[in-house]
Amino acid sequence: MSEVLGIGIAGLGTVGAEVARLITERGDQLAERAGRPIKVMAVSARDRTKDRGVDLSGVTWEDDAVALAARDDVDLVCEVIGGSDGTAKDLVEAALEAGKSVVTANKALLAHHGTDLAKRAEANGVALAYEAAVAGGIPIIRALRDGFVADRVQRVTGILNGTCNFILTVMRETGRAFDDVLAEAQALGYAEADPSFDVDGVDAAHKLALLTALCFGREVDFASVHIEGIRRISPVDISFATELGYKIKLLGVAEIDGEGEQAGVSQRVHPCMVPVSAPIAGVEDVFNAVTVDADPVGSGMLQGRGAGAGPTASAVLGDIVDIATGRMAPAFGRPAVALAPAKAAPPSAHVGSFYVRLMVIDKPGVLADITGILRDEHVSMESMIQRGRDPMEMVPLVLVTHEVAESAMQAALAKISDLDVVVEEPAMIRIVEG
């Protein structure tokens, strides 16, 4: 059997500790798969005294995580610190420059610096692997990189944040409001004390930027991701979605807009109405799923647990074993120097159907004013639900449109918002067919 592959782990939170435990307890199994022993040589974490459920007594501790990159007994650095800059970035850069492969679960780091880090890895003949950074235990990076090599991906759609999926699932099942269910998610450990990255869509956007680069051969372009979260989703909208045959999901969607060299890529994270018959609509609770539409393979979906120590550590170890066996594919499916410059398609160019809920004063002429604005902006209605009959009562008016350019929909909503009879900001949710 070949020589030991020495691992340095930076970060011993739930994921890092689980990686160390699995390497220690399943060493024989991993060695069989890798064709060589895999051993943790050094670690770095803030608290040496914390019980992490794994015996690290024979492992060297480094107070400075970046020092792992300089150790002669470390061949591969596993970075599970997190954060787009600071120590995580310094360590990964130092490891790549020192000729050591890197396995990371850090989607924020890669979303902001992925193209540069991929170029550094290739320049130094080492791997940059990140299966654990997107959708946890779902092997979506490996599937896209290795399984779709002959396909032209047209669209990738994903439930990429388990916290949001849990909140929307419970809101639909119980009728409770967002703030109430968010508090439950925090109590269960599904949401952080500051849940902004999750519920405002940033976490999903980090992951979508990586999927976009991999699917479409473009440089990572997080800055061009259009991001909306789920804070404004109300039980009223969820109830109307059910009545109309939809479920509301926070989706990341990336697709080609245009043809040939002039084509741009649209990247969007926002709540969507998805038909209940669509496979992705059945993915509930904290689970993630990714649907890929490609030519010639067609449409397919992978689903599973998108977070947690076990699924994430499993993905990390999958990358480590790949590298141990010499499988070192380019990070984004093709050489980094061959990645096309990022070219964004603006959200306003999106064409689709829309759900719109208006809270209006119920009096004669309201509907005529609204439909007149829609007519002027060339927005055609597919269906309408109107509630309430008492004059001066605030009632919901729900519209579902035919396909229309988002720019026209936004222009119509801006004019509708200015009507005196519209008493709340309109709620608009894009409809995605799944």
Q: How many CA atoms lie within 13 A of 40 on its CB side?
A: 30
Q: In this structure, how many other beta carbons lie within 10 angstroms of the beta carbon of residue 411?
A: 17
SS3 405: strand
Q: For residue 244, what are the CA distances in angstroms to 15, 176, 218? A: 41, 19, 37
207 counts as catalytic:
yes
100: amino acid identity, one letter: K
69: amino acid identity, one letter: A
On whether the CB atoms of residues 304 and 287 are closer than 8 A, the answer is yes
Instruction: Catalytic residue, from 39, 89, 100, 207: name it.
Output: 207
94: amino acid identity, one letter: A
Round to whole Å and give the CA distance between 180 and 162: 17
- Give rounded-to-5 percent helix, strand, coil for the chain: 40, 25, 35
What are the tokens at 337?
């120097």
Round to whole Å and give the CA distance between 180 and 195: 13
User: Beta strands 5-10 and 76-79: pairing type?
Assistant: parallel
Mind telling me the catalytic residues? 207
